[in-house]
Amino acid sequence: MSTFVPTYPLFPTLANAVTKTRKLTGSSNSFQTTDSDIVQKMHSFYSYDLPAKFRSLKLKDIYTFTTNVGQDVYPFNSELYITVNQPCYCAKREIQLFTNPWSFYGSNFNWQDYTNFAAGDGTTGPYSGFTTASPLIPSVNNDPGPQTNRNLFFPQSRVQNVLITANVIGTNGVGQTQNVTDDGLGNLIQIFQTSNSGNQEYGWTYYRQYASSTPTVAGNATINYQTGAITGLIFAQAIPAGTPIQIQYNPKQFSIPLAIMFYQNQFTLCPTPDKGYTIELTCYRQPIQALLAADMTGNPELSEWWEILAVGAAKKIFEERLDSDGVMFIDKMLKERYDIIETRTYAQIGQERISTLYTDQLTENYGSNGQTSGFGSI
């Protein structure tokens, strides 16, 4: 049996697109603009200027990742993929896709348990104890970093699933609750906020210390996600004698996932996986392969993209030169090419059956109303 080997056309290549840009802008040599600068403008045009509606069905692809036991949140590669859609599968079984936390957690119970595992003794600690249920799931992106090297992305995509809390009453009866959480790796941390002196209008910044006798060293104050054991916990302030020390957490029964939510640029599975599973989702791939070719011989994944990238880069060059006539001329060319690439997608979509409320009635697929009623398709 012969194997099909794909061949790639000699035209167009990234070099052809660069040459087209040079001709449009009258930049015949690298003294006026370099090849790398043109390619950078092409990438910028595609990433930030090209309308998101111009997508081809050729770019529709399967996004795949595998699960880990006890891990319910997984990152999404938003640089290479966009627009997550149904159908979604776990172990080749169709699962329900949500994009709204209200609907997702309304269908998948997520209330936290409360356990008073210790009581204050008038000192900062150490305190130890156990949760009444286990296993529990760790927090995600919950570590703001040390004060000397803070995480600039915190609290982006933060999911805090563990909180240990104890009340301390300060001077004049002012409450100073001590809150400890986890870093997602089993270490207990206490998060503090800086005063941001002079820049309060931009909000607080945060840093952490390990909740142990050595605040700069991990591994001394820990929580075991499988057993629920808490050891070596030391607060920043002394806990008054008899004051309850409580942990709020999410105990989970691990199983095969039946639903997935795309939110915060990451995926959340429910139930939490009990082993490795293959998760597959439908999404669109970013057509940037040609822009990554170092030798200028790369082909655009979609051949019709080569001219629109060249024209887009030319517009950016004219904008930097403050050439309003050039910008107006290029805008006309962009409009013509927008019409071409939009027509191709619509021609393919026109061959598909229009989905209605009853499309999936016989196949028992998940409905567009977020229920597994067998009516409609997402």
pLDDT at 364: 55
Structure confidence by residue, pLDDT tens digits, 320-373: 989 888 899 888 888 888 887 777 666 665 655 566 655 555 555 554 444 444
How confident is the prediction for the chain on average, in pLDDT?
A: 82
When pLDDT is averaged across residues 51-56 and rounded to a whole number, the result is 69
pLDDT at 13: 78
Beta strands, E only, 54-134: 60-66, 73-75, 81-90, 93-98, 113-119, 127-130
Structure confidence by residue, pLDDT tens digits, 278-302: 999 998 887 665 555 556 666 666 6
Instruction: Tokens 């319910």: give the residue.
Output: 72
Q: Write the CA distances from 146 to 15, 63, 207, integer angstroms.
A: 47, 35, 5
Report residue 375's pLDDT band, with 50, 70 and 90 as the boundaries.
very low
Structure confidence by residue, pLDDT tens digits, 68-103: 999 999 999 887 888 888 899 999 999 999 999 999
Nearest C-alpha neighbor of 94 from the set 364, 368, 274, 359: 364
DSSP 334: H
pLDDT at 201: 55
What is the token pair recorded at 96? Answer: 């329900």
Exposure string for 348-370, b = 16+ CB within 10 A, e = fewer: eeeeeeeeeeebbeeeebbbbeb
R_g of the chain computed on alpha carbons: 27
When pLDDT is averaged across residues 299-325 and rounded to a whole number, the result is 84
pLDDT at 159: 92
pLDDT at 363: 52
Query: For the whole model, what pTM was predicted?
Result: 0.74
Q: Looking at the chain, list the stretches that DSSP marks H as alpha helix, in order from N- to C-terminal side.
A: 14-25, 35-44, 101-107, 305-320, 324-349
pLDDT at 351: 58
202, burial (CB in 10 Å: exposed 0-12, middle 13-18, buried 19+): exposed
Angle at 127 between CA 124 and CA 131, to 5 degrees: 140
- pLDDT of 239 above 50: yes
Give the whole-number percent of the chain exceeding pLDDT 90.
39
Kindly give, in sequence order, each residue whose CB lies less than 8 Å from that of residue 267, ignoring residues fewer than 6 positions away.
65, 73, 74, 75, 76, 260, 261, 279, 281
Nearest C-alpha neighbor of 88 from the set 100, 80, 97: 97
DSSP bridge partners of 280: 64, 89
Structure confidence by residue, pLDDT tens digits, 1-49: 566 555 556 667 788 888 889 998 988 888 888 888 888 888 788 777 8
Q: Is the peptide bond before 138 cis (omega within 30 degrees of 0)?
A: no
**Strand ranges of the sheet holding 93-98, from the earlier edge strand across to the other edge:** 60-66, 278-285, 81-90, 93-98, 259-263, 266-270, 73-75
pLDDT at 316: 92
- pLDDT of 58 above 90: no
When pLDDT is averaged across residues 123-130 and rounded to a whole number, the result is 91
Beta strands, E only, 157-314: 163-166, 178-182, 188-193, 206-210, 222-223, 229-233, 244-249, 259-263, 266-270, 278-285
**All structural domains of the chain with their residue ranges:** 7-50+287-323, 113-249
